[in-house]
């Protein structure tokens, strides 16, 4: 055998081996991706809510103490679950509805957030989507929901501090500012009410020159998240829904009639189930592909004296969020506190439970950002700090729809940090879907369309590490 023949042979052998190794690698990766949720089940842990907003949560109801048979069982007592319960009863008063909440209503993101009451959805919020007529329709839908919240506040007698003073998306860089002005130019012919504000106008409104400019949405605003949970809980109960707290659903068995099992062995039979479980949905082995739980952090000052607040130059209570991927957001409460949230967010390997050892570093980041924006608050401590899980989807799109072998499992997910207003829009849609009125919502691009596929562990964790390092480097966080 001459040298050339033997070289060709070994090259062919190498290619064969490399192809086999590559195929084995892909098969292994696919296998790992499929096996991961079974090999690495998530823990059913729900940490207590220590946020400032939680002080206004209503006292918890008793847990479920005997087996239950209902038309609709809703898992999760946040904005989504409570609003769905309200609308289900309101639209069909004969239907029996029970909300089953693991800890306490408002224990999740609903009473831990940044209090910004925003229009649109995260994937379209002040971004050029190329579908302006659809944007108009979504904007009108979310704007209408704010009116519904105000009406419900009057109906229940719970004032949730809803203020529609508008909201700003402020720009950290000149290039973001250019994108903002381009967006306004494109959107103008379609009559959406967004405005571009230059640095001087931004500074006049919120007192800081830390930003290059901003987009202003006059239809947005803020509210008190804990009080909004109280409002929806009361509305749902007045409408006749039962609410059980301290009741963890450990398992859902599908069938024409679904069988839910609580962590302490009670059984709930239901014709339909709504997963209003947000960032915790994968703990029940549903929709793991759609979202990943990211832990975000918030801190709030004590009430500021009139002089201190005046020194910030932040006059009217207009909340704002910045243009970074790991966004910072700030607001001012009616009792003159300033809250700041966001910055570095954390994803924990397969846990859906945060790592408390990171919290202090993240709170320091919030203090630094507050000082950067308002140097006069240099010595102002954050009186309360907390964290919360955001159900982040890859493309920041939400989704609402119907799944399951028998088509009787409903869900709303993927709010991606943009759910204060949107959740109760989806709560209403869920009630319509359960009532077989989905035809009204066929126009909505989020109906039965899940967000971009996210792989399981360990690929998910690796992807998150890579993406966050990239953003932190490019956006100097």
Ligand X SMILES: Cc1cc2nc3c(=O)[nH]c(=O)nc-3n(C[C@H](O)[C@H](O)[C@H](O)COP(=O)(O)OP(=O)(O)OC[C@H]3O[C@@H](n4cnc5c(N)ncnc54)[C@H](O)[C@@H]3O)c2cc1C
Contact code string over 80-119 relative to ligand X, x by CB under 6 A: xx------------------xxxx---xxxx-xxxxx-x-
- Rounded to whole angstroms, the Cα distance separating 208 from 437 reads 48
Which of positions 143-162 make contact with ligand X (CB under 6 A)?
none
Q: Residues 249, 353, 392, 409: which binds ligand X (CB under 6 A)?
A: 249
Region of 56-64, 264-272, 384-392, 402-410 interacting with ligand X (CB under 6 A): 384-392
Looking at beta carbons only, is 324 or 418 nearer to ligand X? 418
Q: Classify residue 255 by its DSSP letter.
A: S
Please report whether residue 296 would count as binding ligand X according to CB under 6 A.
Answer: yes
Distance CA 196, CA 182 (A): 10
Determine if 213 is a binding residue for ligand X (CB under 6 A).
no
Hey, is 330 helix, strand or coil?
strand
Q: Between residue 159 and residue 198, which ones bind ligand X under the rule CB under 6 A?
A: none
Please, which residue, 254 or 458, has the CB nearer to ligand X? 254
E strand spans, 310-364: 320-321, 328-332, 338-342
φ and ψ at residue 300, rounded to 5 degrees: -135, 140
**Closest CB 310 distance from ligand X, rounded Å:** 25
# residues near ligand X by CB under 6 A: 45
Residue from 329, 347, 363, 410 in contact with ligand X (CB under 6 A): 329
Pick from 75, 126, 230, 373 the residue near ligand X by CB under 6 A.
75
Identify which range of 70-78, 90-98, 196-204, 367-375 contacts ligand X by CB under 6 A. 70-78
Pinpoint the alpha helices (H) of 65-122: 79-91
The minimum distance between CB 64 and ligand X, in angstroms, equals 10
Chosen residue from 341, 352, 365, 401 binding ligand X by CB under 6 A: 341
The closest alpha carbon to 115, from 335, 344, 263, 358, belongs to 335
For ligand X, give the closer residue by CB, 197 or 295. Answer: 295
Nearest of 173, 175, 177, 166 to residue 206 by alpha carbon = 166
CA gap 232, 81 in Å, rounded: 9
Q: How far is the CB of 239 from ligand X (least distance, A)?
A: 17
Q: Using CB under 6 A, pick the residue from 36, 42, 46, 367 that binds ligand X.
A: 46
- Range 413-442, binding ligand X (CB under 6 A): 415, 417-421, 423
Measured from the CB atom, is 21 or 40 closer to ligand X? 40
Determine which residue in the list 58, 60, 78, 226 makes contact with ligand X, applying CB under 6 A. Answer: 78
Contacting range for ligand X; rule: CB under 6 A; set: 192-200, 271-279, 429-437, 453-461:
271-279
Among 138, 167, 340, 389, binds ligand X (CB under 6 A): 389
CA distance 409 to 36: 23
Taking the complex as a whole, how short is the minimal distance between the CB of residue 41 and ligand X, in angstroms?
13
- Alpha-carbon gap, residue 262 to 63, rounded angstroms: 10
Cβ distance to ligand X smaller for residue 109 or 464:
109
Here the tokens at position 192 are 């959406």
Distance separating the N- and C-terminal Cα atoms of the chain: 62
Instruction: Tell me how far, at minimum, the Cβ of 306 lies from ligand X, in Å.
Output: 26
CA 5 to chain centre: 62
Smallest separation (angstroms) from ligand X to the CB of 86: 13
Beta carbon nearer to ligand X, 47 or 381:
47
Cβ-proximal residue to ligand X, closest one = 419
Residue 202 or 291: the one with the smaller Cβ distance to ligand X is 291
Which tokens sit at 85?
């319960």
Identify the residue among 97, 120, 272, 284 touching ligand X (CB under 6 A). Answer: 284
**CB nearer to ligand X: pick between 5 and 234:** 234
- Answer yes or no whether residue 292 interacts with ligand X by CB under 6 A: no
Cα–Cα distance, 56 to 59 (Å, whole number) = 9
* Contacting range for ligand X; rule: CB under 6 A; set: 60-68, 72-80, 167-175, 306-314: 72-80
Complex with ligand X: residue 80 or 156, whichever CB lies closer: 80
DSSP states of 157-184 as a string?
T-----B-S-EEEEESSHHHHHHHHHHH
Is-contact 207 375, C-beta < 8 A? no
Contacts of 427 (CB under 8 A, 6+ apart): 79, 80, 81, 82, 83, 84, 85, 86, 87, 276, 412
Residue 87 backbone dihedrals phi, psi, to 5 degrees: -70, -35
* Local structure of residue 151 (DSSP, 8 states): H
Query: 344 exposed, middle or buried (CB, 10 Å; 0-12, 13-18, 19+)?
Result: middle
Q: What is the dihedral of CA 398, 401, 402, 403, to 10 degrees?
A: -20
For 68, which DSSP code? E
Residues that bind ligand X (CB under 6 A): 46, 75-81, 100-103, 107-110, 112-116, 118, 248-249, 276-280, 283-284, 296, 298, 329, 341, 388-390, 415, 417-421, 423
């Amino acid at each position: 055998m001459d040298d050339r023949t033997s070289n060709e042979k070994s090259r062919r052998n190498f290619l064969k081996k490399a192809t086999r190794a590559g195929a084995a690698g892909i098969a292994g990766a696919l296998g790992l991706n499929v096996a991961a949720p079974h090999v690495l089940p998530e823990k059913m842990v729900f940490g207590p809510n220590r946020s400032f907003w939680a002080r206004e949560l209503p006292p918890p109801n008793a847990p479920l103490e005997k087996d239950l048979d209902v038309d609709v069982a809703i898992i999760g007592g946040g904005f989504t679950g409570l609003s769905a319960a309200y609308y289900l009863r309101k639209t069909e008063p004969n239907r029996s509805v029970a909300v089953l909440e693991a800890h306490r209503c408002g224990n999740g993101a609903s009473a831990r957030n940044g209090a910004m009451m925003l229009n649109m959805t995260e994937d379209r919020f002040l971004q050029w989507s190329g579908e302006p007529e659809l944007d108009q329709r979504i904007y009108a839908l979310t704007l209408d929901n704010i009116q519904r919240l105000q009406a419900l506040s009057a109906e229940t007698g719970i004032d949730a501090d809803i203020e529609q003073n508008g909201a700003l998306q402020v720009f950290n860089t000149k290039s973001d500012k250019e994108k903002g002005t381009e967006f306004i130019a494109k959107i103008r012919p379609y009559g959406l009410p967004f405005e571009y504000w230059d640095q001087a106008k931004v500074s006049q409104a919120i007192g800081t020159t830390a930003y290059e400019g901003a987009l202003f949405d006059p239809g947005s605003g803020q509210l008190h998240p804990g009080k909004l949970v109280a409002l929806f809980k009361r509305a749902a109960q007045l409408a006749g829904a039962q609410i059980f707290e301290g009741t963890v659903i450990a398992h859902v068995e599908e069938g024409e009639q679904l069988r839910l099992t609580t962590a302490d062995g009670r059984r709930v039979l239901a014709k339909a189930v709504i997963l209003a479980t947000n960032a915790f949905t994968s703990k029940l082995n549903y929709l793991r592909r759609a979202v990943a739980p990211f832990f975000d952090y918030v801190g709030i000052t004590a009430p500021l004296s009139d002089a201190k607040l005046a020194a910030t130059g932040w006059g009217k209570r207009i909340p704002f969020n910045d243009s970074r991927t790991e966004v910072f957001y700030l607001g001012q409460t009616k009792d003159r506190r300033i809250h700041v949230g966001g910055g570095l967010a954390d994803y924990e390997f397969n846990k859906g439970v945060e790592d408390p050892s990171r919290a202090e570093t993240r709170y320091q980041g919030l203090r630094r950002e507050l000082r950067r924006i308002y140097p006069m608050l240099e010595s102002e401590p954050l009186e309360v700090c907390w964290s919360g899980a955001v159900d982040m989807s890859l493309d920041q799109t939400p989704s609402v729809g119907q799944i399951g072998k028998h088509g009787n499992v409903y869900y709303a997910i993927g709010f991606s940090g943009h759910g204060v207003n949107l959740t109760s829009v989806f709560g209403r849609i869920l009630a319509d879907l359960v009532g077989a009125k989905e035809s009204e919502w066929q126009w909505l691009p989020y109906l039965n369309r899940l967000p971009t596929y996210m792989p399981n562990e360990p690929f998910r964790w690796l992807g998150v590490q890579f993406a966050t390092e990239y953003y932190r480097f490019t956006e100097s966080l």
